[in-house]
Structure 1
Amino acid sequence: MLPLEGITVVAVEQAVAAPFCSSRLADAGAHVVKIERPEGDFARGYDAAAKGQSSYFVWLNRGKDSRVVDLAEPDGRAELETLIASADVLLQNLKPGSMDRMGFARERLRKDYPKLICCTITGYGDTGPYADRKAYDLLIQAESGLASITGGPEGPSRVGMSIVDVATGAT
């Protein structure tokens, strides 16, 4: 028996950080339901190296159930509400404020589902001058100085993989 068997995670996620996190939870036995927008997670288009599929997407989303839910529509938000009501964990890494605007503010979720664990992955946290900004791996590599120690004589360069997103998802 795996340590997280019997745990349900609803993951409103895209790209790398949250999908890496939820893939670790799935590896530990959790049932992970990945919520994708109608056009799909944009990581599906990163490459076509895995038999025509994105290697990143396959790596980050194996072992999950994927559901297409249009959160821009009332029916989609109602479907997400139903999924959350039966979940143990809600994980999300949408643009800061997106879940709030759709009616899924953490304060409300804590009140309505007191046993629900809410995990929000952001680039800059909940408060401060950058709290409302989106973050990308390359941006954080540059801002942190990581890009300044990679590259060659022609200048700094990005680390070859999404190291900031992977480290964030791991922690």
Structure 2
Amino acid sequence: MTRALEGITVVAVEQAVAAPYASSRLADAGARVIKVERPEGDFARNYDELVQGQSAYFVWLNRGKESICLDLTLEEDRAVLDAMVVSADVFIQNLKPGSISKLGFGSTDLRKRFPRLITCDISGFGDVGAHSHLKAYDLIVQAETGLCAITGTAHGPARVGVSVCDISAGMTALNAILQALFKRERTGEGASI
């Protein structure tokens, strides 16, 4: 496998599927990915115990990454994250909308401080609009988009078996990050995704 992203550092404040999918593919391509988890860990660690007592989703999405647990409500832990972002090429987050900004790591602020940084914010309903403040899980997005209505059985609609919306969001984020890295090579400027 080609390691085209060797030398690239990614800091990912991530959980569940969408952001971890994007960052896992960056790690597969050779980037150093540092996953930041809350003190109790990414809740995806507890989805199941299929891989030698660990969650299959968690192992699939987080292999090849470094990991650190930080309590970002604490000033000293925010200082640790800040020190990591200083040397990062990419910053990815998929916390509840508005959460990362309240902690001082919003894309607008980071891009002012680090113009070469590529920031990627993944949310279920975007930055603006009536639902932008809501958390989103794959099942919610499948239901909201009507996907559940075209799957299932005679007894009613059902969720598609895999987290297809989260995986699609992660693939889309990955594509945008790679485009931004390419653009930065040409212009020296980062991007907000």
Match of 1:34 in 2: 35
Alignment of 1:22-171 (within 5 A): 22-171=23-172
Cα deviation 1:100-131 (Å, max 9, x = unaligned): 11011222111111110000001111111111
Could you tell me which runs of 5 or more consecutive residues in structure 2 were left unpaired when the two chains were aligned: 173-193
- RMSD, aligned α-carbons: 0.8
Output the amino acid matched with 1:45.
Answer: N
Secondary structure in 2 aligned to 1:130?
coil
Unaligned 5+ segments in structure 1 are: none
Q: Distance in 2 between matches of 1:80 and 1:18?
A: 17
Corresponding residue SS for 2:84: helix
| Aligned partner letter, 1:56 | Y
Cross-structure match for 2:179: none
CA displacement at 1:53 relative to structure 2: 0.4
TM-score, normalized by length of structure 2?
A: 0.87
Per-residue deviation at 1:39? 0.2
SS in structure 1 of the partner of residue 92 of structure 2: strand
What is the distance in 1 between the residues matched to 2:16 and 2:106? Answer: 22
Structure 2 residue aligned with 1:7: 8
Tell me the matched-pair count: 171
Same amino acid, percent of matched pairs: 60
